[in-house]
Structure 1
Amino acid sequence: MTEVRVPTLGESVTEATVATWFKQPGDAVAVDEMLCELETDKVTVEVPSPVAGVLSEIVAAEGETVGVDALLASITEGATADAPAAGPAPTAEKPTPKKPSEQAPATDSKNAPSAEKLAADNNVDIANVDGSGRDGRVMKGDVLSAMNNPQPVVASAPKAPSAPRSGDDADREERVKMTRLRQTIARRLKESQNTAAMLTTYNEVDMSAVMDLRNEYKELFLKKHGVKLGFMSFFTKACCHALKEIPEVNAEIDGTDVVYKNYVNMGIAAGTPSGLVVPVIRDADSLSFAEIEKAIAEKGARARDGKLGMDEMQGGSFTISNGGVYGSLLSSPILNPPQSGILGMHSIQKRAVVVNDEIVIRPMMYLALSYDHRIVDGKGAVTFLVRVKEALEDPRRLLMDL
């Protein structure tokens, strides 16, 4: 008999919730075949089978909270699922024919609960999702893939409006337990508001120079580096440049000490079906445009597929959040503690602006810098945002370190 226990979950993570069991007692399992998913407050962890055999017992059911090294299940090593357990033979009965609507499905497959919930939360018809699990079982990753590659929608006849329901409104409500990730997001954001003396300063940037430079070199950039040239590498470079001049924006408070960091681990906020995550690009200040774009693309894809590891979301020193991809025109981003600064990007809109005493149409973007006023003074915050604006409006300054 082999025990299956909760693996090490990562730094500062001591417990998890059993989200989904892919196998049931009596099922045969192979080495490294996924047994269950554990949901922590940061990532989802898959637990593989350490041996081949038969899953004999599940100790921690779905929804239970378990600690590190807690017993999850036990496996009978080397056994097969073909031999039924010994016991009295059932009394033979003549089967009663069933109506077509009562017939059992062709397989005994059952979709993973995490896949069912993810599909329901995002209005995905799980019946149209191809399952990769045993007997065609739809897994969470299958739903994520379907969301990233939506199928064309076939128009259907409109439904007749239903009559208003009478009675208590509770009959029309649905109560769903928050995921550990969502609970952590809620707790950390509120802690940030309660702890930091948070303030936001705003500016706007003319994106003409960056857009012209990108349009001129994007095909050559893609051909040489194998990755598209986007706007995020320009903003990352501009922020790294400004952080060198205003180091307190890249620092953090530890008790009565201020910890200044001589590196930039850039957090890039990314929205996923499960919630907001912030993968970290380490030593971003020493990376090229191509290296930054490759890192953003790779970590963004891993975030959407729920494949980020614990270490990939820890140790950030500054964060960039791009609400513009969702259409946000202006917002005040919330700090990602213990960091002291976060830059908010927004939609690019053509607006009338005055240039050399003439009214011209330019692609403009509002920028927002939220900062911890306990460590960053107003002068430093405004100067930081001005340096970012200057670098974006004249990208040559980045090459000349001006």
Structure 2
Amino acid sequence: MENVYRILDANFNRAREGLRVVEEVARFVLSDAALAFRVRELRHRLSRCQEAFPAKGAALVAARDVEGDVGSGALPSHGPLTLGELATANFKRVQEALRVLEEYARLCRVTAPFQEMRFLAYALEQEIMGRLAGLEEACRPAPASRQADYTLYVITGDKFSRGRSILEVAREAISGGATVLQLREKEFPARRLVEVGRQLRELTREAGVTFIVNDRVDVALAVDADGVHLGQDDLPVEEARRILGPGKIIGVSTHSVEQALEAQRRGADYLGVGPIYETWTKEDAEAPVGPDILRRLAPLVHIPMVAIGGIKAHNAAEVVAAGADGVAVITAVVAAEDVAGAARELRRVIAEARRKRP
């Protein structure tokens, strides 16, 4: 019977160890307290089952023979694992160990719900592996066509442009260092948006600057823009991706941590976070969220964050220090008397703030 006890002891340990590994995945990778609790409860339940054996399980521990165990040597390495492979391997350890416990417990005439626990492990594996697959898909780097330099993101604003044409202002902004140009003219009819969009597309392509269209997926398609920027009430990211195809950039305006994480989960390529400060360029603007939201998001998101809302040369350094990958502006550039000079000054401030950032 001592050898049976050794088998039982080894498999109780093996199952608990495997459950601890996947519990940490649920807790620290998926950040799902309820899921982590279910794994932990299965692990604790397993420990309680051990107490059904002689001397409340102490007989199994007493039979342990580490030095005499021919299987205690180091196993050959199979190279680095992905997180999914690591979780799968440990789920298999748990399930196999539970099957061994189920069979050998019969020799001790002990009744324990090992079969039920094994099926619980199957269900947990399916749920956790499905979640991990979605997470790995979201974390996969975007194709090169969907990557951009968001350092200085200039948004058009015809009514703030001092009578200058959108094309003229855009040309000067690019001359001063704009890395992204967004066409955002809420009052323009579709025909005019397409006309202006084609001009901006030609200009940005020649300059090597990313060109984004605000809200209008149809216009973005018509002018072959690099992508579209969506608000909270616009098309869902998945639907925009289906229409635009896999090679186009999709940005999403977010006003809270929850909205930012949801946009990332749905496949956004970058986040527009704000309004950081009070702004008058948007009549229905949300209340300012302040730069602290960037600090809260920095450890939680892996896609670029573009701060927007009331950003000028005097406060741009603050949002960069808080974690923004770039700043989006309208009046700070398009309403300036010297458009190129205003863009150039913002680039200088951003560069200096990045040098000081840890």
TM-score, normalised by the number of residues in structure 1:
0.23
Which is higher, the Rg of structure 1 or of structure 2?
A: 2
Normalized per residue, which structure has more helix? 2
Task: Write 1 or 2 for the structure with the bigger share of strand.
Answer: 1
